[in-house]
Amino acid sequence: MSYVTQHTSLPVIGVGGIMTADDARAMLQAGAALVQVYTGFIYSGPGLVRDINRLGDPRA
């Protein structure tokens, strides 16, 4: 993902395999502007969104 974000000016959306807040953090640190957590949300429920929000800004 970081290769793509370094070679484009377009926003990149991290998708696939995001099942935990740590997975979302990794995508955001790699440069994703957004993360799609559909599967993680289905299996973990709204708690996953809460956990991601509690990360704060992982790019800071």
Domain residue limits, the chain: 2-53
List the structure tokens of 37.
């957590």
The three-point CA angle 23-60-30 to 5° equals 40
Residue listed under structure tokens 């502007």:
33
Tell me the pLDDT tens digit for each residue of 30-51.
999 999 999 999 999 999 999 9
Q: Report CA-CA distances (Å) from 45 to 13, 17, 19, 23.
A: 21, 15, 10, 15
| Cα 47 from Cα 41, distance rounded (Å) | 8
Confidence of residue 60 (pLDDT cuts 50, 70, 90): low
pTM: 0.83
Contact 13, 32 (CB under 8 A): yes
